[in-house]
Amino acid sequence: MNEIAIRTSGLGKRYRQKWALRGCDIEVPAGRVVGLVGPNGAGKSTLMNLAVGLLAPTEGTLEVLGREVRADTVLHRVAYIDQEHTMYRNFTVREMVKTGRKLNARWDDRIAFDRLAELNIPLDSRVGALSGGQRAQVALAVALAKEPELLILDEPVASLDPLARRELMSVLMEAKADTGCTVVLSSHVVSELERLCDYLIVLDHGRTRLVGDIDELLDEHRVLTGPSGLPEPERIVHRHVDGERSSLLMRGNAPVDPGWAVQRVNLEELVMRYLSLAAPQRTGAAEVAA
Provide the mask over 86-115, with x wherever binding to ligand ATP is found by CB under 6 A and - wherever it is not.
------------------------------
Q: How far is the CB of 179 from ligand ATP (least distance, A)?
A: 26
Judge whether 164 and 136 are in contact, CB under 8 Å.
yes
Q: State how far Cα 112 lies from the chain centre.
A: 24
Sheet holding 221-227, edge to edge: 261-264, 221-227, 245-251, 236-242, 286-289
Nearer to ligand ATP, 93 or 271 (CB): 271
Q: For 48, what's the count of Cα atoms within 13 Å in the CB-facing half-sphere?
A: 28
Task: Find the part of the chain contacting ligand ATP (CB under 6 A) among 13-21, 160-168, 171-179, 272-280.
Answer: 13-21
Torsion angle of C-alpha atoms 69, 208, 17, 80, degrees rounded to 10: 40
Give, as one character, the DSSP assignment of residue 64.
E
Binding residue for ligand ATP, selected from 5, 6, 11, 20, defined by CB under 6 A: 20
Q: How far is the CB of 192 from ligand ATP (least distance, A)?
A: 13
Nearer to ligand ATP, 43 or 100 (CB): 43
Instruction: Say if residue 282 is exposed, middle or buried (CB neighbours under 10 Å; 0-12, 13-18, 19+).
Output: exposed
Q: How far is the CB of 47 from ligand ATP (least distance, A)?
A: 7
Binding residue for ligand ATP, selected from 4, 14, 29, 41, defined by CB under 6 A: 41
Nearer to ligand ATP, 77 or 205 (CB): 205
Q: How far is the CB of 12 from ligand ATP (least distance, A)?
A: 12
Binding residue for ligand ATP, selected from 3, 15, 286, 288, defined by CB under 6 A: 15
Q: Is 38 in the site for ligand ATP (CB under 6 A)?
A: yes
Nearer to ligand ATP, 41 or 66 (CB): 41
Q: Hey, is 17 helix, strand or coil?
A: coil
Report the sign of the C-alpha dihedral through residues 74, 75, 76, 80, in that order. positive
Judge whether 12 and 58 are in contact, CB under 8 Å.
yes
Q: Determine the straight-line distance between the first and last CA of the chain, rounded to whole angstroms.
A: 40
Q: From CA 260, how far away is CA 114, in angstroms rounded?
A: 56
User: According to CB under 6 A, which residues from 43 to 82 bind ligand ATP?
Assistant: 43-46
Nearer to ligand ATP, 186 or 246 (CB): 186
Nearer to ligand ATP, 43 or 133 (CB): 43
Nearer to ligand ATP, 150 or 202 (CB): 202
Judge whether 121 and 138 are in contact, CB under 8 Å.
yes
> In the complex, which residues of this chain contact ligand ATP (CB under 6 A)?
15, 18, 20, 38, 40-46
